[in-house]
Structure 1
Amino acid sequence: MREQLERRSFLILLAAVTIAFGFILEPFWSAIFWACAVAVIFSPLQSFLSKKIGERPNLNALITLTICMLIVVIPVIFLSMAFVQEGIQLYQRIDSGEIDPKQMLLQLRDAFPVVDKLLVELGINPNDIREQVTSAVQAASKFLAKETLAIGQNTFSFFISLALMMYLTFFLLRDGSKLKELLIKALPIGDEREHALFQKFVEVTRATVKGNLVVAIVQGALGGIIFWILDIPAPLLWGVIMAFLSLIPAVGAALVWFPAGLYLYATGAWVSATVLMAYGAIIIGLADNVLRPILVGRDTKLPDYVVLFSTIGGISLFGINGFVIGPLVAALFMAMWQIFMTDFNHHTTDN
């Protein structure tokens, strides 16, 4: 009896201490999450170096981390600096009145009067809709610009988080296999199931990060290039925004290039508008429709509609990290139910 009481007391204390430790780490969850993701993505390189150089964990982890910084971290830093600069310039142009979202909407109304007629037939007051949309566009534009300015002002915080992420990544690369075995030993759900779940975690993380980032980079680059060719202001800024929005399957980048095309039609730039619409639908859209199923859906073994809903849901709950966390939770959900149907239902049938 006493032994059972001691066991329950220990488990309660263990749960309380674990929860408290989780709250202590809460400010660093993004850095920890991305350290895990980077370690998972670059672990094949770590294994390759171990075969070529030998079992020298510190050296292999340092070389892997250096390559990661050269091909990922440093380019992202330079791109972020250019993004912040263009965002500040956009904010200044909105604040000075050089760019007037309300005037842009009036031009759209004059160019497409059929929309007003359709709204009236549906019993909707076009003026109310116009005022609401104008206010929303102005608020969104200034919010975007101000957030960009805030990113520039929070550079120190960003670099602290980046340093913590890279520091943890080094140890995860060096000791990843030992930590995995330690977790498998600690978790009381069965070694085979734990190996299966860890394997699914690795597969989905690798597929969603690499796949979605490749699609985002391709769509952002394609969008930025066509904006630059058509002389649309702040092409780099809008290219980066399209890259972020492309993390949402099916509709992402179109949230930028489609309204831009409509505005070009409204201002009489028919050739540029037609080029942008055709380019967006065929070239940018093709990158999403072809690359995403190959790079994400195939490796995660998730249906396209599950990837879509889990990505949108993940982003709404966890912010930018959600484009990985959402599909990861969905994949683990399906994997655990598969284990349940295979193991537990089988045992129930046998009994």
Structure 2
Amino acid sequence: MRVSSSNADESRQPKANSGWVSRERALVVTLALATALAFYVCYRLAYPFLPALAWALALAVVAHPFHEWIERRLRHPNLAAGLAVIVVAVVLIAPAVFVVRHMAEEAATRAETIKTEIDKGTWRARIEGDSRIASVVKFVERQVNLKREIQELSSKVGDRLSSLVSGSIWALAQLFITLFALFFFFRDRRAVLRALRSLVPLSDSETDEVFARVSDTVYATVYGTLTVAMVQGALGGLMFWWLGLPGPVLWGTVMAIVATVPVLGAFIVWLPAAGYFALSGSWGKAVILTAWGTIVIGLIDNLLYPVLVGNKLRLHTLPIFIALVGGIALFGTSGLILGPLALVLTLALVDVWRRRTAGGQTAETVQLHRHENPKRSKQSERI
């Protein structure tokens, strides 16, 4: 009887263990779902502020050497971070206010001029005075109602730019959040990096590599893409002003914007302007603008970009193009940072998994490696 009783207890033990495992698995699944839901809610809460946070991160990476220089001299984290934020704000806001104000004035003036000339019919008299331009316009008019399209376009552009210039509370709020987040990125940089290291399931070397690639991407985007684009826009705007074209600040800004997108470039702005000069008979101006755009503006990308970026961003043009355009479509102007950042982060994680698969590493091996190598790389602390 004792034997049979012990056998019965043993037969019941697996069932008890099975029930415990089922409850444990249910708890794990519940915890995972709750964590995923919490992350989603936090993402939705932070989504409106992603542009501000993205630019704050970019500024923190780019201005880190300056902040570190101030911090070494003041030896007061709050004061050093506050002073660095003030300097960054002055450097960014002053030129932005100047450019936006001039863009608004020029856009409003040009829109009003176009509407006035269309209403009075003076634009047709000018066109009919040149047979070459008149033939092109007549062909276009046969395809579309040119007068109506120009009126609608000028009205929309004028209204939207006027409302943009008048300023939006949301834009000011985003600027405040950017500077507010930048302060904490400066002051708590090391604590943030330590927290990220404790959360990511990567070894120290893998974490260092991911941090380094993220930092390099921000450097390449800000120092490379944006700086080169601004230089190209400034050079194009100066040439537009020297040749007497209307709206040099406006068109220079447009050139800077399109120059950030691979494959497009500033030529889609200055090339039609050169064509306009050629059609109107100003062959000298057409040649000057074409030479300036091809030799000076065009070569800036090939000469200045490698100097600023070097080999920090070694990616093919196609994925970068998709990342930039997709990022802008999804996040707006902050997509210039978030698009390439998402691409590089994804590729870095894919490389990690590829090496782990090839080397037969497991999660336990990685955690053991983390405990055996507690040293932190200083390279990743550039963020």
Shorter chain as normaliser: what TM range?
0.7 to 0.9
Deviates most, 60-69 or 141-150:
141-150
Which structure 2 residue ranges, 5 or more long, are not aligned? 1-20, 362-383
| Cα distance in structure 2, aligned partners of 1:270 and 1:295 | 36
Residue of structure 1 in register with 2:195 after alignment: 182
Equivalence map 1:17-96=2 (5 Å):
17-54=38-75, 56-96=76-116
- Contact between 2:278 and 2:286, CA under 8 Å: does it hold in 1? yes
Local SS of the residue matching 2:78: helix
Percent identity over the alignment is: 28
TM-aligned CA deviation for residue 129 of structure 1: 7.8
Aligned mates of 2:142, 2:107 — CA distance in 1: 28
Q: Which residue of 2 aligns with 1:13?
A: 34
Q: Distance in 2 between matches of 1:110 and 1:289?
A: 40
AA at the equivalent of 2:112: Q
Deviations 1:309-338 (A, max 9, x none): 432333333332222222222322332222
Distance 1:10 1:171 in 2: 30
**Is the 2:82–2:183 contact (alpha carbons within 8 Å) kept by the matching residues of 1?**
yes
Look up the SS of the partner of 1:299 in the other structure.
coil
2:171 paired with 1:171: no
Write the deviation string for residues 60-105 of structure 1: whole angstroms up to 9, x where unpaired: 1112112212222222122222222222222222232369998699
1:301 is paired with a residue whose SS is coil
d(CA) in 1 for partners of 2:174 and 2:71? 29
Q: Structure 1's 336 and 294: CA in aligned 2 closer, same or farther, altered over 3 A?
A: farther
The answer to whether the 8 Å contact 1:250/1:289 transfers is: no
Contact kept, 8 Å, 1:30 with 1:321, in 2: the verdict is: yes
Instruction: Write out aligned runs for 1:103-182 (5 A).
Output: 111=132, 130-131=143-144, 142-182=155-195
- More RCO (CA 8 Å, sep 6+): 2
Q: Which amino acid aligns with 1:83?
A: M
Query: Per the alignment, in what secondary structure is the counterpart of residue 251 of structure 1?
Result: coil
Residue equivalent to 1:213: 226
* Alignment partner, residue 371 of structure 2: none
Structure having the higher Rg: 2
Matched pairs, number: 339
Tell me the CA shift for residue 157 of structure 1: 2.6
Cα offset, 1:57, TM superposition: 1.0
Residue in structure 1 matched with residue 257 of structure 2 by the alignment: 244
Shift of 1:287: 1.2
- Is the 1:297–1:304 Cα contact (8 Å) retained in structure 2? no
Tell me which residue corresponds to 2:315.
302
Rounded to whole Å, the distance in 2 between the matches of 1:293 and 1:135 is 46
User: Structure 1 residues 104 and 113 mapped into 2: Cα distance closer, same or farther (>3 Å)?
Assistant: closer
In structure 2, the CA distance between the partners of 1:133 and 1:305, relative to structure 1 (3 Å rule), is: farther
2:236 matched to which residue of 1?
223
Decide which moves more: 245-254 or 98-107.
Answer: 98-107
Aligned-partner residue type, residue 238 of structure 1: W
Could you tell me whether the CA contact under 8 Å between 1:185 and 1:191 is conserved in 2? no
Instruction: Describe the superposition over 1:24-82 as per-residue Cα deviations: whole angstroms up to 9, x where unpaired.
Output: 2222221121111111211222222233333x211111121122122222221222222
**Gaps spanning 5+ residues in structure 1: where?**
117-125
- Quick check: 2:140–2:146 contact (8 Å CA) kept in 1? no
User: Would the aligned equivalents of 2:270 and 2:293 in 1 still touch at CA under 8 Å?
Assistant: yes
Distance 1:127 1:59 in 2: 62
| Further displaced range: 70-79 or 168-177 | 70-79
* AA partner of residue 22 (structure 1): Y
Q: Which stretch of structure 1 is more off in the superposition, 181-190 or 61-70? A: 181-190
Alignment of 1:285-324 (within 5 A): 285-296=298-309, 298-324=311-337
Q: Secondary structure at the residue paired with 1:5?
A: helix
